[in-house]
Structures are given as C-alpha cells and as structure tokens.
Amino acid sequence: MLTNKEKKANDILKILEKLYPKTPIPLSHKDPYTLLVAVVLSAQCTDERVNKITPLLFKEANNPKKMVKLGVRNIEKIIRPCGLSPQKSKSIHTLSKMLDKDHGSKVPENFKDLENLPGVGHKTASVVMSQAFGYPAFPVDTHIHRLAWRWGLSTGKNVEQTEKDLKRLFPMDKWNKLHLQIIFYGREFCPARGHDLEKCIICFKHRRKNNFK
C-alpha cells in the first residue's frame, strides 16, 4: 500500500510528464567534455548566459588539450560574464590538464574520477553522468532542493538528503528526465519569489501550510 508521500510523488510525476514530455538539455554542448565545462560555468549563472559564452570559449578550445594551451588568463577573459571567472577559469584549466594527463583527454564515466576533478562536485558529476552517459542519476541543486521541500517530498536540510529522498520516491528509470522536468516546472510555475498558488498546479493540489515562502 502506497504512503501519502508516495501517492503525491506519483501524482506529481504524472503532472510533469504531461507538461514536459520532452526534456531538452538546457546547456548547449557537443560531447561530454563541452557539457562538463558548461556545467562548471553554470554555477551561480543562468543557462541562458552560459549558452552565450560557451560558443566563444569552444571556438578557441573545444577539447582538453586545446583548453590547456589556451591558458587560465585567456579562459578567464572569455568566461568573465558568467561570474566567478577567476575560480572557474582555474578549475576548467586544471581539470582539462588532468583529463589530458590521466584520462586520455576523455571525460571519465564514473562518479569517483569526476568528483576528483577541480570544480566538480556531486551535482555536477550527476549531471554529466546522466546527460552525457545516460547513467541513472538525480542531480539535485538548490532549486530542486527547494521544490522538494515545498512539495512535501523531502524534509532534508541539505541537497544530499533530498537526493536520497527523491531517489526513494521515484523510479530509477525516471530520474534523468525528472530532474529536468522539475527544473522546467519550477522556472515556469513555482519560483522562489512571486509564487502564484492559483497558477501552480502542484502546489495548489498538494499545498501544505507554511510551505510557500
């Protein structure tokens, strides 16, 4: 017998499937490496802005060897509009050097090696594993963390616990698509500010007192 939380999760899944049957990957890329770099750039930056900068960066360097040759200063100049450019440029340059030296210029297909790269945390590794390699993963950023709490799917105080809660509630074969569906829905109907309960189907159906901040 399903719990109330499991019933809610099933209903939310049906709503998201109906609204977003297709989930194009928001960050423009051509291969695992360009996706990895784009995800690193997306930290505290909109996908829209990243997609404007990456063509400029990848025109100069679209693989680890070329990125190493491009150098930290040149990388920083190009990616400055994305914010945190000093830190991100060093991470991109160093991870490219590590990929070239330790992985034959290929992005590794496992969490351990990905998370050993500078600037690559569990969330970034999860995005690459799911979107580049099709590995079942559930990337949870602050937005999904917020929505999972708002919808009563998790009481986790951090993204790690929220990820565990969501993985328990939803079928593994839905994870890769579902995390994008949640992001799309949050942007369109369930923002952190200016939230309109009447227009938000999920919150309206499953509202909980004091959960709409």
Q: Is 167 helix (H, G, I), strand (E, B) or coil?
A: helix
Q: Which residues are CB-neighbours of 25 under 8 A, at least 6 positions away? A: 35, 131, 180
Task: Please report which residue ranges of 61-174 form alpha helices under DSSP H.
Answer: 64-70, 72-79, 85-102, 111-115, 122-131, 142-150, 159-169
Of 110, 100, 208, 66, which Cα lies nearest the Cα of 150?
A: 208
- CA dihedral in degrees (84, 39, 108, 91; nearest 10)? -10
Q: Kindly name the residue from 8, 88, 141, 165 that is annotated as catalytic.
A: 141
Q: Kindly name the residue from 59, 123, 164, 177 that is annotated as catalytic.
A: 123
Separation between Cα atoms, residue 74 and residue 70, nearest integer Å: 6
Asked if residues 119 and 40 have their Cβ atoms less than 8 Å apart, the reply is yes
Structure tokens at 102: 């330790």
Let me know if 12 is exposed, middle or buried by CB neighbors in 10 A (0-12, 13-18, 19+): buried
Active-site residue, 196 included? no
Active-site residue, 141 included? yes
Which residues belong to the active site?
A: 123, 141
